[in-house]
């Protein structure tokens, strides 16, 4: 992309002609072998840079500049025209090659383009010496006998001119502004001072060492590499340019390592090594820039992926919350029907099927919620000393109907002598339940599943769940712990589930400081999962904890029930009325406040999220003037959620889907004046 045009065409034309002319005159002051052939030829780089940045149409300025340089040097009108034509053609050819094969003005952005640029410079500069020296020799201004050395000097002067000066021209023209970047610029400043000092030490004559002509040019290398490594391509090209200027001046004054028999030889060798250094450093700088771009790209991609993941998590949290809400009235309704429907085996079994399936549904939703809680780091564990064997027995009991349905024998081999661990009871059971449920699900009919425990080393307990079922392919075993991962077979044969059980179990295990790994010998060769945890001493106080005393029968409680989910409200109202309470229903905060003004209440049961406010706000407002007890209902049940409810004045926090049992217990606890919080969630 050409830089924005700030100068008129004519100004650019005159400016370019003048710059070319002055640079040419300067270059020819170093022409020792022949008046027209200099080993240092900046105009070649200026012309190439100008054609690339400003376009091919600027060629007349180069032609005129070159003509004026030569017309005021040696030869006649004809040779000056021929040489100017050679110079212009060479620049046009070089620019075409760079545009065609090396990305034009973006040539220094990729290291492979830098190498192509070097080839373009070496190839295109064959033109000018061929035309120039031949035309001079034809009319007698050059000796045919010295054609070779003059041609070589001319070619090397032009080629190194392209390599050393064009990068400075192109990079500054494309990005002329220099902005202060604080620390980075201080580093640039420091590096340039260092480069200046080293350049002067080696070539410049500041220090006596440069008069000795030791071959120590290499000591400038590390600083240049440093510049290329840390700074942009523009700074690298500029650094080399400064070093080159010092080196040319020093060499002409007999300082530095490149002083040879003749000045021409010295300059040729000097320019040659500077050109090689330029290509190396520019390729390195371009490579570093590529790396920085790739890194920035990666960062951008990472941010995008993280944002998408966050959106997915938010969506899952929203979705599972919303999916849970309608389950409450259905579950409550089914429970009522089971209790009050006239006894009939057919209806009983139908209701049981409904209840069971709602439980399965809510389990799936719970998994989704668990996943979002884990990914948001919102998992709360209430650790206590658990007897692992007791917990395993409980889980086996829970899975009895599933194992019985497939006639699977569940064998227990619980031989660990040290079998207490610090864990959250519900979460620990969830891990074992997931493993056992999978073992049963992936076993063949009449198969066998073994759960064993062992202390492989002191203070460590390993629980092992083994089956002889369909097994896992080696390439899948690594991924089955990823969320939603169900292996290849999920496409071939459905076993049900969302592919979350193992992901959740692994995260839960890690949250307990435990490890969960899976092994399988391959397809149809069964699978074994190992849960390894640290053991703790049994908690003697747990055994002496008082059992919940039988609750006293309740009197009538005046309840204000607030939930924007109309069905939930309707079913709950019916059930609470059936228990002898008086119930007033509201579906938003405004009408709840109005109803509370008309009549007093003993208890507020409110959903946390209301259309025009929150349950917390409602509780705070209502309990400000009267002594009101409260039960909050929410889809979320972390410590933070419960804390918020308690701070707002609720005594209980129920997690949806709310069962009648949970609601009964909460109402009873509140009515009995027990204001410590309890969490009751669905099955």
Binding region for ligand ADP (CB under 6 A): 434, 438-439, 442, 467, 469-472, 480, 485-487, 489-490, 497-503, 527
Neighbours of 187 (CB within 10 A): 16
**For ligand ADP, the closer CB: 522 or 600:** 522
Residue nearest to ligand ADP (CB): 497
- The distance of closest approach from Cβ of residue 636 to ligand ADP in the complex, given in angstroms and rounded to an integer, is 23
**For ligand ADP, the closer CB: 208 or 496:** 496
Task: Please tell me whether residue 83 adopts helix, strand or coil conformation.
Answer: helix
- The distance of closest approach from Cβ of residue 281 to ligand ADP in the complex, given in angstroms and rounded to an integer, is 54
- The distance of closest approach from Cβ of residue 605 to ligand ADP in the complex, given in angstroms and rounded to an integer, is 35
Of the candidates 451, 498, 490, the one whose C-alpha atom is nearest the C-alpha of residue 470 is 490
- The distance of closest approach from Cβ of residue 516 to ligand ADP in the complex, given in angstroms and rounded to an integer, is 11
**For ligand ADP, the closer CB: 390 or 521:** 521
Cβ neighbors of 632 (< 8 A, separation 6 or more) are 606, 607, 608, 615, 616, 619, 645, 648, 650, 652, 653, 654
- The distance of closest approach from Cβ of residue 498 to ligand ADP in the complex, given in angstroms and rounded to an integer, is 5
Cβ neighbors of 665 (< 8 A, separation 6 or more) are 551, 678, 680
Given the structure tokens 């002055």, which residue do they identify? 22
Please return the burial class of 626, using the count of CB atoms within 10 Å of its CB with bins 0-12, 13-18 and 19+. exposed
Q: How many Cα neighbours within 13 Å face the side chain of 299?
A: 6
Which helix H or strand E contains 569, and what residues bound it?
Answer: helix 566-578
Instruction: Say how far apart CA 595 and CA 584 lie, in whole Å.
Output: 8
Neighbours of 298 (CB within 10 A): 10
- The distance of closest approach from Cβ of residue 497 to ligand ADP in the complex, given in angstroms and rounded to an integer, is 2
**For ligand ADP, the closer CB: 104 or 499:** 499
Task: Please tell me whether residue 490 adopts helix, strand or coil conformation.
Answer: helix
Preceding peptide of 657 cis, ω within 30°: yes
Which helix H or strand E contains 531, and what residues bound it?
Answer: strand 527-534
- The distance of closest approach from Cβ of residue 482 to ligand ADP in the complex, given in angstroms and rounded to an integer, is 9
**For ligand ADP, the closer CB: 466 or 581:** 466
- The distance of closest approach from Cβ of residue 399 to ligand ADP in the complex, given in angstroms and rounded to an integer, is 13
- The distance of closest approach from Cβ of residue 517 to ligand ADP in the complex, given in angstroms and rounded to an integer, is 12
Q: Decide: 562 and 605 in contact? Cβ < 8 Å.
A: yes
Instruction: Say how far apart CA 429 and CA 33 lie, in whole Å.
Output: 93
**For ligand ADP, the closer CB: 254 or 357:** 357
**For ligand ADP, the closer CB: 326 or 499:** 499
Task: Supply angle C-alpha 417, 506, 636, rounded to 5.
Answer: 110
**For ligand ADP, the closer CB: 202 or 449:** 449
- The distance of closest approach from Cβ of residue 463 to ligand ADP in the complex, given in angstroms and rounded to an integer, is 14
- The distance of closest approach from Cβ of residue 530 to ligand ADP in the complex, given in angstroms and rounded to an integer, is 12
Q: What are the DSSP calls for 361-378, one per residue?
A: HHHHHHHHHHHHHHHTT-
- The distance of closest approach from Cβ of residue 473 to ligand ADP in the complex, given in angstroms and rounded to an integer, is 9
Task: Please tell me whether residue 652 adopts helix, strand or coil conformation.
Answer: strand
Q: Decide: 655 and 541 in contact? Cβ < 8 Å.
A: no
Instruction: Say how far apart CA 208 and CA 229 lie, in whole Å.
Output: 31
For the record, the structure tokens of 283 come out as 């390729």
**For ligand ADP, the closer CB: 438 or 453:** 438
Neighbours of 66 (CB within 10 A): 29
Instruction: Say how far apart CA 60 and CA 30 lie, in whole Å.
Output: 26
Instruction: Say how far apart CA 226 and CA 192 lie, in whole Å.
Output: 11
- The distance of closest approach from Cβ of residue 320 to ligand ADP in the complex, given in angstroms and rounded to an integer, is 15
- The distance of closest approach from Cβ of residue 377 to ligand ADP in the complex, given in angstroms and rounded to an integer, is 20
**For ligand ADP, the closer CB: 272 or 499:** 499
**For ligand ADP, the closer CB: 133 or 472:** 472
**For ligand ADP, the closer CB: 494 or 550:** 494
**For ligand ADP, the closer CB: 104 or 487:** 487
Which helix H or strand E contains 606, and what residues bound it?
Answer: strand 603-607
What's CA 160's distance to the chain center, in Å?
44
Instruction: Say how far apart CA 66 and CA 16 lie, in whole Å.
Output: 11
**For ligand ADP, the closer CB: 454 or 498:** 498
- The distance of closest approach from Cβ of residue 449 to ligand ADP in the complex, given in angstroms and rounded to an integer, is 9
Of the candidates 582, 590, 588, the one whose C-alpha atom is nearest the C-alpha of residue 560 is 582
Under DSSP, the state recorded for 240 is H
**For ligand ADP, the closer CB: 180 or 491:** 491
Cβ neighbors of 409 (< 8 A, separation 6 or more) are 403, 447, 448, 449
């Amino acid at each position: 992309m050409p830089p924005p045009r700030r100068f008129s065409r004519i100004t650019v034309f005159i400016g370019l002609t003048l710059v070319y002319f002055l640079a040419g005159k300067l270059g020819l002051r170093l022409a020792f072998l022949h008046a027209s052939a200099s080993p240092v030829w900046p105009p070649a780089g200026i012309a190439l840079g100008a054609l690339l940045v400003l376009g091919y149409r600027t060629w007349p300025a180069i032609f005129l500049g070159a003509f004026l340089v030569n017309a005021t040097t040696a030869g006649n009108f004809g040779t000056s025209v021929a040489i100017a034509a050679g110079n212009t053609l060479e620049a046009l050819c070089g620019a075409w090659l760079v545009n065609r094969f090396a990305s034009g003005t973006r040539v220094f952005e990729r290291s492979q383009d830098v190498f192509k640029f070097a080839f373009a410079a070496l190839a295109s500069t064959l033109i000018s010496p061929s035309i120039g020296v031949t035309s001079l020799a034809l009319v007698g201004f050059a000796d045919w006998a010295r054609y070779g050395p003059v041609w070589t000097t001319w070619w090397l002067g032009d080629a190194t001119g392209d390599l050393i000066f064009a990068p400075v021209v192109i990079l500054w023209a494309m990005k002329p502004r220099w902005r202060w970047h604080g620390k980075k610029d201080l580093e640039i400043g420091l590096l340039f001072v260092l480069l200046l000092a080293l350049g002067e030490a080696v070539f410049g004559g500041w220090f006596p060492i440069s008069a000795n002509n030791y071959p120590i040019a290499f000591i400038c290398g590390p600083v240049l590499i440093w510049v290329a490594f840390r700074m942009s391509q523009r700074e690298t090209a500029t650094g080399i340019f400064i070093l080159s200027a010092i080196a040319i001046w020093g060499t002409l004054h007999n300082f530095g390592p490149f002083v040879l028999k003749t000045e021409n030889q010295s300059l040729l060798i000097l320019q040659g090594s500077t050109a090689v250094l330029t290509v190396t450093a520019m390729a390195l700088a371009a490579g570093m820039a590529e790396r920085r771009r790739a890194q920035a790209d990666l960062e951008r991609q990472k941010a995008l992926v993280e944002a998408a993941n966050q959106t997915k998590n938010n969506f899952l949290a929203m979705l599972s919350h919303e999916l849970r809400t309608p389950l409450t009235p259905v579950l409550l309704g089914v429970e009522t029907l089971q209790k009050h429907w006239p006894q009939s085996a057919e209806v009983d079994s139908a209701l049981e099927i409904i209840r069971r399936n709602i439980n399965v549904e809510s389990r799936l939703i719970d998994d989704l919620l668990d996943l979002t809680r884990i990914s948001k780091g919102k998992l709360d564990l209430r650790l206590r000393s658990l007897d692992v064997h007791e917990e395993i027995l409980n889980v086996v009991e829970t899975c009895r109907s599933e194992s019985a349905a497939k006639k699977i024998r569940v064998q227990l081999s619980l031989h660990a002598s040290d079998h207490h661990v610090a864990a959250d009871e519900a979460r620990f059971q969830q891990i074992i339940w997931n493993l056992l449920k999978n073992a049963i699900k992936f076993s063949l009919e009449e198969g066998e599943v073994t759960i064993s425990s062992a202390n492989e080393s002191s203070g460590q307990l390993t629980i092992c769940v083994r089956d002889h079922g369909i097994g896992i392919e080696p390439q899948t075993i690594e991924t089955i712990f990823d969320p939603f991962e169900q292996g290849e077979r999920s496409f071939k044969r459905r076993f049900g589930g969302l592919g979350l059980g193992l992901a959740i179990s692994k995260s839960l295990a890690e949250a307990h400081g435990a490890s969960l790994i899976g092994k399988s010998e391959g397809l149809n060769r069964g699978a074994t999962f190992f849960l390894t945890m640290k053991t703790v001493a049994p908690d003697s106080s747990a055994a002496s904890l008082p059992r919940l005393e039988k609750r006293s029968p309740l009197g009538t409680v005046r309840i204000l029930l607030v939930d924007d989910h109309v069905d939930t409200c309707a079913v709950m109202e019916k059930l609470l009325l059936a228990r002898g309470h008086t119930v007033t229903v509201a579906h938003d905060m405004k009408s709840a406040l109005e109803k509370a003004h008309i009549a007093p209440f003993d208890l507020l049961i409110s959903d946390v999220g209301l259309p025009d406010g929150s349950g917390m706000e409602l509780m705070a407002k209502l309990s400000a003037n009267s002594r009101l007890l409260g039960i909050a209902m929410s889809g979320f049940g972390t410590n933070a959620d419960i804390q918020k409810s308690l701070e707002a004045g609720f005594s209980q926090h129920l997690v949806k889907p709310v069962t009648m049992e949970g609601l009964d217990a909460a109402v009873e606890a509140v009515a009995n004046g027990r204001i410590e919080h309890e969490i009751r969630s669905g099955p």
